[in-house]
Structure 1
Amino acid sequence: MSVFETLESEVRSYCRTWPAVFDRAQGARLTDEDGRSYLDFFAGAGSLNYGHNDPVLKRALIDYLERDGITHGLDMATTAKRAFLETFEDVVLRPRDLPYKVMFPGPTGANAVEAALKLARKVKGRECVVSFTNSFHGMSLGALAVTGNAFKRAGAGVPLVHGAPMPFDHYFDDTIPDFLWFEHLLEDRGSGLDLPAAVIVETVQGEGGVNVARAEWLRALRDLCRRHGMLMIVDDIQMGCGRTGGFFSFEEAGIVPDIVTVSKSISGYGLPMSLCLFTAELDIWEPGEHNGTFRGNNPAFVTATAALDAYWTDDRMEKQTRTHGERVEEFLRTRVDETVGGDAKSRGRGLVWGLEFADETRAAKVCSRAFALGLLLETSGTRSEVVKLLPPLTISPDELCEGLDILGRAVDETR
C-alpha cells in the first residue's frame, strides 16, 4: 500500500475503509491481489447495478473496441450514440409514456445536476432552488449548494448560495403536516423566500442515510410545484436504473418530474456517463451553452445499450429486485431488528437498505468487521450512523443470503 500512501492525496477515503489492493472482479465478487474474495454490497456506490464485468456487456464493449469504434466523440453524431438513443426511447421512455428529451452533460452525476439547475434557472428566470434536509447531489459548487451534509458543504471553501433547504419526508417524525412550513413561506410575502425556480429531490436519500420518501409525499410535492410554478427535479443518479424496482425510482409514486438526472449505472459497466432528461418545452439551450469534453463517452453508450437490451425489455429485472428486496427486509426485521431490539432500525426500498444504530459509532464498526469477514459495506448518513446495503441487482439468491449472514455476524460481534 506504500505507493498509495506516498503519492496519492490524503483525500482518498474508500481505500482506508477497505485496506486491500483489488485485482479482479466478476458479478457480485471482488478479488484482491492475494487471492482473497469479497462479496460486494457496495456496487460501486450504485454504479454497478449489473455487477462487475457483466459478460454480455463486456462482449459488446470488446467487439466495439476491436473494430475501432469511436471512443471519443464529444457531442458528434455516432452510431453508438444513435443505438443508445433509439434503445433508450424504445425500452425506457415510450413504455412509460415519458416525454423527455435527452441531454448528455459531462460524464458525472454532479454535472447532470449542474445542468439541471442551470436549465431550471434559465427557464424560470429565478435563482433559488429548494432542496431537502440530508440531501446529497454532488461535490461541485452548484450541487453542493443544494446538498445538506455540513461536512461536504464545508469543503467548498466559498459561500454556497441560491439554495433553500426544506424538511424531507419524516424529518419531524410525522408530527407536522407535510409541506406546512414550505407552503407557508411560499405564500407569505414577508418570509424572505424568493419564489424558487425549482425543487430538487431524491426519492430515497442514499448518502443521507437511506431515508425513503413515501409515494404520497412525492405526489404532494409534485402538486405543490405545479401550483406555485416551480419545476420538479428528481435526482435519480443513485436510485435510478432499477435500484428501487422500476427503472426510475419515481415510477411507484405515479409522477412525471419536469427534469430527471441519471448517472452511475446508466452505462451498466461502471463507465462514466450521465443524462439530464427534461420535457421538450424546457429545451431552450443555445448550442454549446452547457458542454464538456467527455460528454460523448461512446464505449459507455455501447454498454448502456447492451444493458437495456439484456435487462429491461421485460419485467424480469424489476421482479427480481423486488424479490431480493423482500428477502433483505425480512432478514433485517427478524434477525437484526429483533436481536438488537431498540438499538437499531432498518428502512429501504428495492435493493437499497439502511440499518441505523442508536450508537452512532456502531455502523462503522459493523462495516469494519464485515470487511474482515469478506463483505464490502459502506456507512451513510450525516454522522455515518447507517450501514448501507447496495448489492448488485443481479446478485444470486445464494450470494445475497451469504452476504446477509456475514452482516448478521458482524452485528453480533460488534456489540
Structure 2
Amino acid sequence: MVLTKSQKVMEVFENHESQVRSYSRSFPTVFERAKGYKMWDTEGKEYIDFFAGAGALNYGHNNDKMKEKLIEYIQDDGIAHSLDMGTTVRKEFLERFNEVILKPRNMDYKVMFPGPTGTNTVESALKIARKVTGRQNIISFTNGFHGMTLGALSVTGNSYNRGGAGVPLNNTTSMPFDTFLEEGQSLNFLKKYLADASSGLDLPAAMILETVQGEGGINPASFEWLREIERLCRNYDILLIVDDVQAGCGRTGTFFSFEPAGVKPDIVCLSKSIGGYGLPLALTLIKPQYDMFGPAEHNGTFRGNNLAILAATEALSYWETDEFAKSVQEKSKLITKRMETIVEEYPQLKATTRGRGFMQGIVCGEGKEDYADKICAKAFEKGLIIETSGPEGEVVKFLGSLIIDEKGIQQGFDILEEAIEDVVKN
C-alpha cells in the first residue's frame, strides 16, 4: 500500500513520540497551515476548526494584528525572555489590562505572572489561599477540571486524570456541582456540611470552580448558584477561586465568565486565550489584601514570556468597546439554534444541549455515549475539527474561535449534521 505524505509523517510520531500524545490520535493528519478559523494539512485538505486549540485561540489562527506586532518586535531585537524583570512590554500590558479590563468592571486585582500554563495559575491560586488563611483544605466540585500537576489534579474530578498522579491527592474535598444533583440539592448538601460541626468537613481555605465546566461536559452553573457559593464563602471566611482558564477571555460572551452573575472572586485564574496568539501565558489575579507571596515564593523560568505578553496586549484591543462581546453573544444564538435543531432532527441521539456562549455541547443520551466519539471522528473525515468532553466522552463540544463568522458556523454545523446522519444510519 502506498502511503500518503501525511501517513508517512504520522509514522514519525508513532516511532519517536511518547504514547502519551492525545490529539494526534483524534485528528490523525499532519497540519501545515492555519488562518482564522481554518486549518490545512500537508495534503492541502481544508478543515473548519471548532476546537481552537482547546480554547487557546479565541482570536483565531495567525491573527494579523498580533502577527505584525510579533514580527516587528523580533526584528527590532525586543526582549524575548526576562523572567519577571521589568520590560516595556510587561509595563504596557499591565497598564492596558488595568485600563481596558479591570477598571471598567470596577475590579481591583494584583496581577501575578506564574508559569505560563493553566495548571500553574491554579497551583499558585491554591498556594496563596492556603498561605492567606492558614488552612489546608480546598473544596472543589464534581466534574471539575483544573489541570494535570499534583495540586491541580487534587481538585480535578476525573478519575482517569487523577489516576495518573501515582500518589494520594490529599487536602481537598469534592462537593456536588450545581447540576450534579437535582435542582437545589447540591447547594443544600454543601450548606449542611459547612453548618454541621460533625460533618467531618475541615473548614477550607478556598472553594475553586469553573462557571462552565469544560472538560467535565459543558456544565454551566446557574447565576443564582454562583451567587450562593459566593455568599457561603463570605459567611465562612473562605476564599473564592474562579478558574477562568477556558471559560474566560470572552468565550461565554463576556471577558470574564462570572460577570453576568455579579460575583467578585478573590482569585481568578487565566491562561489559554489570554496569550492572544496561542502563545503560552497565564495570569493569577489576586485581590490586593491577599497578595501575600514573598519574592519568588512562587516563580517559574518562563513567567516572563514577552512575546506572549505582547500578543496579549494587542488582544485587549478587542475589548476596548462592547462591540466584540455583542458579536460573540449574537453568534452564540446561532450556535444554540443549530444544536437545538440537531437534537430535534436526530432523536436517535437521545440528546440534549447545554452551555453558554461559544462553549456549548450536544450531550448524547444514556446508551448513546459512544455516538459522540463516532460523530467527531466522522466529522474530522469530512473536514471539521471538533472534540468530545464529559466523564464518558458523551458531549460533542463546540469551542470555535470567537472571530468565526456566521458563514463558518453554518458550514461547520452542516458538516457536523452530515457526520451525525452517517453515524445514526450505521
TM bracket, shorter-chain basis: over 0.9
Match of 2:243 in 1: 235
Deviations 1:258-296, CA, capped at 9 Å, x for gaps: 000000000110000000001100011110100000001
Match of 1:226 in 2: 234
Q: Shift of residue 237 of structure 1?
A: 0.1
Match of 2:4 in 1: none
Asked whether the equivalents of residues 378 and 419 of structure 2 are also in contact (C-alpha less than 8 Å), the reply is yes
Q: Shift of residue 312 of structure 1?
A: 0.7
Asked whether the equivalents of residues 91 and 313 of structure 1 are also in contact (C-alpha less than 8 Å), the reply is yes
Residue 343 in structure 1 maps to residue 350 in structure 2: yes
Residue 327 in structure 1 maps to residue 334 in structure 2: yes
1:140 to 130, 137, 149: 149
Match of 1:61 in 2: 70
Q: Distance in 2 between matches of 1:317 and 1:408?
A: 28
Residue 188 in structure 1 maps to residue 178 in structure 2: no
Residue 384 in structure 1 maps to residue 409 in structure 2: no
TM-score by length of 2: 0.96
1:209 to 217, 226, 232: 217
Please state whether the residue corresponding to 2:145 is helix, strand or coil.
Answer: coil
Correspondence 1:72-87 to 2 at 5 A: 72-87=81-96
Deviates more, 1:381-390 or 1:186-195: 186-195
Q: Shift of residue 7 of structure 1?
A: 0.5
TM-score by length of 1: 0.98
1:197 to 205, 212, 225: 205
1:307 to 298, 303, 315: 315
Q: Distance in 2 between matches of 1:379 and 1:335?
A: 16
Q: Distance in 1 between matches of 2:345 and 2:327?
A: 26
Q: Shift of residue 383 of structure 1?
A: 1.1
Deviations 1:299-352, CA, capped at 9 Å, x for gaps: 01110011102x110111111111111001011112333432671111111111
1:352 to 341, 348, 359: 359
Deviates more, 1:112-121 or 1:320-329: 320-329
Q: Distance in 1 between matches of 2:157 and 2:304?
A: 31
Match of 1:101 in 2: 110
Residue 317 in structure 1 maps to residue 290 in structure 2: no
Residue 246 in structure 1 maps to residue 246 in structure 2: no
Q: Shift of residue 411 of structure 1?
A: 1.2
Deviations 1:330-379, CA, capped at 9 Å, x for gaps: 11112333432671111111111111112110000000000011000001
Match of 1:286 in 2: 294
Please state whether the residue corresponding to 1:25 is helix, strand or coil.
Answer: strand
Q: Distance in 2 between matches of 1:90 and 1:308?
A: 10
Deviations 1:28-67, CA, capped at 9 Å, x for gaps: 0010011111000000000000010000110011111110
Which structure 2 segments of 5+ residues have no match? 1-9
**How many residue pairs were aligned?**
413
Asked whether the equivalents of residues 180 and 186 of structure 2 are also in contact (C-alpha less than 8 Å), the reply is no
Asked whether the equivalents of residues 47 and 383 of structure 2 are also in contact (C-alpha less than 8 Å), the reply is yes
Q: Distance in 1 between matches of 2:186 and 2:14?
A: 48
Correspondence 1:256-275 to 2 at 5 A: 256-275=264-283
Asked whether the equivalents of residues 332 and 357 of structure 2 are also in contact (C-alpha less than 8 Å), the reply is yes
Match of 1:89 in 2: 98
Residue 2 in structure 1 maps to residue 11 in structure 2: yes
Match of 1:32 in 2: 41
Structure 1 vs Structure 2 CA RMSD:
0.9
Which structure 1 segments of 5+ residues have no match? none
Q: Shift of residue 173 of structure 1?
A: 2.7
Q: Distance in 1 between matches of 2:320 and 2:104?
A: 10
